Structure 1
Amino acid sequence: MGKPNIGFVVGSASASSINRQLAQGLMKLIAPEANASLIEIAHLPLYNRDDDAAYPAVFQALKDQVKAQDGIVFVTPEQNRSVPALLKNALDAGSRPYGQGAWNGIPAAVIGTSPGAAATAMAQQHLRNILVFLDMPVMAQPEGFIRWSDGLIDAQGEIGEASRKFLQGYMSQFLAWVQVHRKA
């Protein structure tokens, strides 16, 4: 098999998002071993089940992009102790109409960063619950509660030295997870 396709979904629409910066740094870490791409979700309209009969093209495009992945890394901020509405909307849109979900069976990892000591622990737990329902095998260990600090990402967008070993190990473990749980 060739290099796996790994999609990164960032739960923030902010151009200066620290979670987007983390995702881009992680993408660079795995570049030699995988084809990494961002799955953009900020442009999606709100999901409405009334649209299930004539599914919107923008949602179908999301589903097509998701289905092309061998694994997906969710990089989420925490808002009000849970996942951001932007991310929940994308998960809902990609899982509908009922029985036609795009997420099913795709191995996933959950990680996020925040300046706070608990990082994004609550959002990650809520996200894991959602992903299990969507039938995504979610990597349990190592967990990725990353406290944002100066130097986490350097001026070139690379993971800084203090965090490189852990995050390289995290991504290596995820790539191994994808190989074991690769969707047929």
Structure 2
Amino acid sequence: MDTKLSILGFAGSLRQGSYNRIILRAAQEMVPSGAELKIFDLAGIPPFNQDLENEPAEKVKEFKAAIRAADALLIATPEYNYSMPGVLKNALDSASRPYGDNALDGKPVAIMGASMGMLGTARAQYHLRQSCVFLNMYPLNSPEVMVAVAQEKVDGNGRLTDPKTRDKIAELLQALIVWARRLK
């Protein structure tokens, strides 16, 4: 029997009530049997400074170790100013440095995002995909999960309640598992 596929998820938002944290927790509830999803909190990763890349902070070491231990990644990104947030970009920069020590190299990755707007983080996700190319990651092309008008899809307890969104996230998880096993 196959061992459980390990997925590491992280949200590109530090806000506790973040819609992206909410959809990431929803994904954790829905992960299919045969896989597990652990969530890593990016809070505490310092701003990337190339002068210090050979002496990374403990939180960066933890992040890189968690990435390396995972078979696949699930990233939930907000959209700030038509792009991915600095928190996420900073974390990816830290995980990929110094040159020759890219923890993201060869990782299958699924991307999703939620926003209060009508485009559901489409632009941020496309910018993130551009970074995945340089980082030699293998992003899953479909399904795309772009949760628009997220505030209408969660309850007062921070739980994703929209059945169509939940179905789409479940579909994304299933496709990521197939993708990661194919790439192994």
TM-score (norm 1): 0.91
8 Å CA contact 2:45–2:57 kept in 1: the answer is no
The answer for unaligned runs of 5 or more in structure 2 is none
Report the 3-state secondary structure (helix = DSSP H, G, I; strand = E; otherwise coil) of the residue aligned with 1:157: coil
What CA deviation, in whole Å up to 9, does each residue of 1:59-101 have, x standing for no partner?
2221111101101011000000001000001000000110111
Residue 24 of structure 1 corresponds to which residue in structure 2?
A: 25
Residue 100 of structure 2 corresponds to which residue in structure 1?
A: 99
Report the 3-state secondary structure (helix = DSSP H, G, I; strand = E; otherwise coil) of the residue aligned with 1:53: coil
Report the 3-state secondary structure (helix = DSSP H, G, I; strand = E; otherwise coil) of the residue aligned with 1:54: coil
Distance 1:124 1:96 in 2: 22
8 Å CA contact 2:77–2:111 kept in 1: the answer is yes
Aligned positions, number: 182
What CA deviation, in whole Å up to 9, does each residue of 1:42-72 have, x standing for no partner?
2111111111233333322211111011010
The percent identity for this pair of structures is 30
**Deviates further, 56-65 or 99-108:** 56-65
Structure 1 28/159 Cα, relative in aligned 2: closer, same or farther at 3 Å?
farther
8 Å CA contact 1:28–1:158 kept in 2: the answer is no
Distance 1:69 1:172 in 2: 16
8 Å CA contact 2:75–2:112 kept in 1: the answer is yes
Report the 3-state secondary structure (helix = DSSP H, G, I; strand = E; otherwise coil) of the residue aligned with 2:139: coil
The answer for unaligned runs of 5 or more in structure 1 is none
Residue 12 of structure 2 corresponds to which residue in structure 1?
A: 11
2:159 corresponds to which of 157, 160, 170: 157
Report the 3-state secondary structure (helix = DSSP H, G, I; strand = E; otherwise coil) of the residue aligned with 2:126: helix
**CA-based RMSD:** 1.8
